[in-house]
Amino acid sequence: MEVKQENNQVRKSATISRKTRTTYALILIPIGIAINVIGGIIAGQLKLPFFMDSIGTIVIAAITGPLIGGITGIMTNVVLGLMHGDVLGMAFGLANLASGVIIGFMAKYGWFKNWIHVALATVFVTLANSFIAAPIVVFLYGGVSGAGVDLVVAGFLAAGQDIFSSAFLARLPINLVDKGIAVIIAFLILKKLPDTMKNLIPPRKAKK
Amino acid sequence: MLQINEKDTFIKNLYPMTKIWFAFWMVVGIFTFTNYYLSAVVFVAALILIYTEGLIRGFKVLILAAILLGVSLFMIQGILNPSNETVVWEVITGTRFVFYQEGLTVAGNVYSRIVPLIAVLYLAIRTLNMTELGVALNKAGISYRATFVLTSTFQIIPVLKKEMFQIINAQKSRGLNTEGSLLNRMKAFIPLMVPLIQNSMMNVQNQVVALESKGFNSDNKKTYYRDPQKRAIDTFIVLSVALFGVVGIAYRILLYVS
């Protein structure tokens, strides 16, 4: 009887903590999105030639794992689209989704702990972003996005590359700086967070 | 940001999901037809509606962006598209500054899709009330937690924006240089961003406690303060715009088969 009661107690506390974890996730997603949006606004205020719209995604993904990180990424572009009325830009949410998923998996398997991991994460995220953004730009906008990247795209086209490779290659250096700064900031902040907040990734099911 | 346009107009009073379906089927239709005349008609109609809704001021920014996009699109595709062969216009004879037909056709097709969509989607989105959208999505079967993420995002952004200006002023008063060379401005980005994120992270725990104490995880049915109603005109609009999209798909399939 006593043992049974204790079992019940344990299960009850476990479900509560799972629910609380969901609440954490549901609050962290909007905050991540808001940080992304504000990052973009600050970059605009400082007249930086970068988007800076993935810092929130990366911070949230490093704390909560690939699922929540990915949702934060894709929702960022949905919210940006709803704010500015520019719905076609929502397609770039796929690139942001990739950043969240990559960083989330790296954090889940303990690959986001030192500067080597930060460098690796930057490379992965840059490649994924350029690779996803290039076909979107080519299909939706004919390879041109009305931003500073266009000059680099024109340069690669003039050098004899086809339109897809130009859109891809032109995005590499810009994404490298953009995502590099984002990953570094996320890493710096993660180191300063209290331990209770650091690891909200749901633990893998214990094997028996 | 939650109440974007509170004027009592016809479009404003439509059911939120109507606007979402309208936007979706318009994207499908315009992409499948890719017709210059259709695009022009849609664009002008949307522009007139935007004007009568009193949203033209915000739309000017998007028009400017669209013009900028158009200029670089036609320049890059017209001059540099790899499949270019037929010369249309030699701007300066003897140089490579020449417009070709193939590239201009590609650019024209892309531009005839983008421009009407910018106007139509702007109209659909800017007349949405985010709270009502949350309620409507909820009624359409999407979980309360998912719609909470959407509505709470639109509440947090203005709060963080206010905080951002405070942090910018505080750091400037400590002597942070936010102008000058690119390197200077990039250096200024980190001391602005880090306190902002840390502040919002520190508040998360309080928000969790607040939500839990208000029964966020309760399984009881939630109540709404705003309750938009679906009318007959909503069904009509959704059906007709869906017809437009479906005809577009059929047209594209027929074109592909023949």
| Phi, psi angles (nearest 5°) of residue B7 | -70, 150
Contact criterion met (CB < 8 Å) for B204 and A162: no
CATH of the domain at A14: 1.10.1760.20
Torsion of CA A123, A127, A133, A137, to 10 degrees: 120
Residue type for position B216:
F
Is residue A61 over pLDDT 60? yes
Contact criterion met (CB < 8 Å) for A75 and B153: yes
Arithmetic mean of pLDDT, A16-25? 73
Residues in chain A: 208
Instruction: Scan for tokens 């502040």, then name that residue.
Output: B199
Terminal CA-CA length for chain B = 49
Contact criterion met (CB < 8 Å) for B188 and A88: no
Domain that holds residue A103: 2-198
Name which of A30, A34, A85 is nearest B125 (Cβ-Cβ). Answer: A85
- A208 Cα to chain B: minimum distance (Å): 31
For A:169-198, CB contacts with B below 8 A are 181, 185, 188-189, 192-193, 196-197
Chain centroid offset of residue A205 CA: 25
In chain B, which residues have their Cβ closer than 8 Å to the Cβ of A24? 204, 208
In chain B, which residues have their Cβ closer than 8 Å to the Cβ of A190? none
Q: Which residues contact B44 (CB under 8 A, 6 or more apart)?
A: none
Question: Is residue A199 very low, low, confident or very high in pLDDT (cuts 50, 70, 90)?
Answer: low
The confidence score (pLDDT) of residue B99 equals: 81
ipTM over the 0.90 cut-off: no
Name which of A20, A29, A157 is nearest B76 (Cβ-Cβ). Answer: A157
Is residue A7 over pLDDT 70? no
In chain B, which residues have their Cβ closer than 8 Å to the Cβ of A84? 62
In chain B, which residues have their Cβ closer than 8 Å to the Cβ of A163? 81-82
Q: CB neighbours (10 Å) of residue A114? A: 9
In a domain, A207, yes or no: no
In chain A, which residues have their Cβ closer than 8 Å to the Cβ of B217? 19, 22-23
In a domain, A115, yes or no: yes
Q: Which of A12, A17, A31, A80 is the best residue to mutate to test the B interface, defined by the most B CB atoms within 10 Å of its own CB?
A: A31
The confidence score (pLDDT) of residue A14 equals: 43
* pLDDT tens-place values along chain B, 258 residues long: 445 556 677 777 788 888 888 888 988 888 888 888 888 888 899 889 888 887 788 788 888 888 888 888 888 787 777 777 777 777 666 666 778 888 888 888 888 888 888 888 888 888 888 888 888 888 888 888 888 888 888 888 888 989 999 999 999 999 888 888 888 888 888 888 888 888 888 788 788 888 888 878 777 777 888 788 888 888 899 899 899 989 989 998 998 887
In chain B, which residues have their Cβ closer than 8 Å to the Cβ of A193? 201
Total structural domains in chain A? 1
Q: Which of A12, A17, A21, A27 is the best residue to mutate to test the B interface, defined by the most B CB atoms within 10 Å of its own CB?
A: A27
In a domain, A23, yes or no: yes
Contact criterion met (CB < 8 Å) for A141 and B110: yes
In a domain, A54, yes or no: yes
Burial B22-60 (b: 16+ CB within 10 A, else e): bbbbbbbbbbbbbbeebbeebbeebbebbeebebeeebe
- In total, the C-beta contacts within 8 angstroms joining chain A to chain B are 180
In a domain, A203, yes or no: no
Secondary structure class of A45 (helix, strand, coil): helix
Per DSSP, helices labelled H in chain A are: 2-45, 55-64, 66-84, 93-108, 115-141, 149-158, 163-192, 195-198
Give the span between the Cα atoms of A174 and A187, in whole angstroms.
20
In chain B, which residues have their Cβ closer than 8 Å to the Cβ of A39? 193
Give the span between the Cα atoms of A153 and B153, in whole angstroms.
34
In a domain, A205, yes or no: no
Name which of A24, A41, A188 is nearest B161 (Cβ-Cβ). Answer: A41
DSSP conformation letters of B225-254: S------HHHHHHHHHHHHHHHHHHHHHHH
In chain B, which residues have their Cβ closer than 8 Å to the Cβ of A144? 69, 72-73, 76-77
- A140 Cα to chain B: minimum distance (Å): 7
Per residue, what are the HEC states of B131-174?
Answer: HHHHHHHHHCCCCHHHHHHHHHHHHHHHHHHHHHHHHHHHHHHC
Q: A62 and chain B: CB distance < 8 Å anywhere?
A: no
In a domain, A204, yes or no: no
Contact between B233 and B21 under an 8 Å Cβ cutoff? The reply is no
Residues in chain B: 258
Give the pair of three-digit tokens for residue B138. 């909820």
Contact criterion met (CB < 8 Å) for B186 and A48: yes
Is residue A9 over pLDDT 50? no
In chain A, which residues have their Cβ closer than 8 Å to the Cβ of B137? none
Task: Give the tens place of pLDDT for each residue, A119-155.
Answer: 999 999 999 998 998 888 888 877 777 666 777 787 8
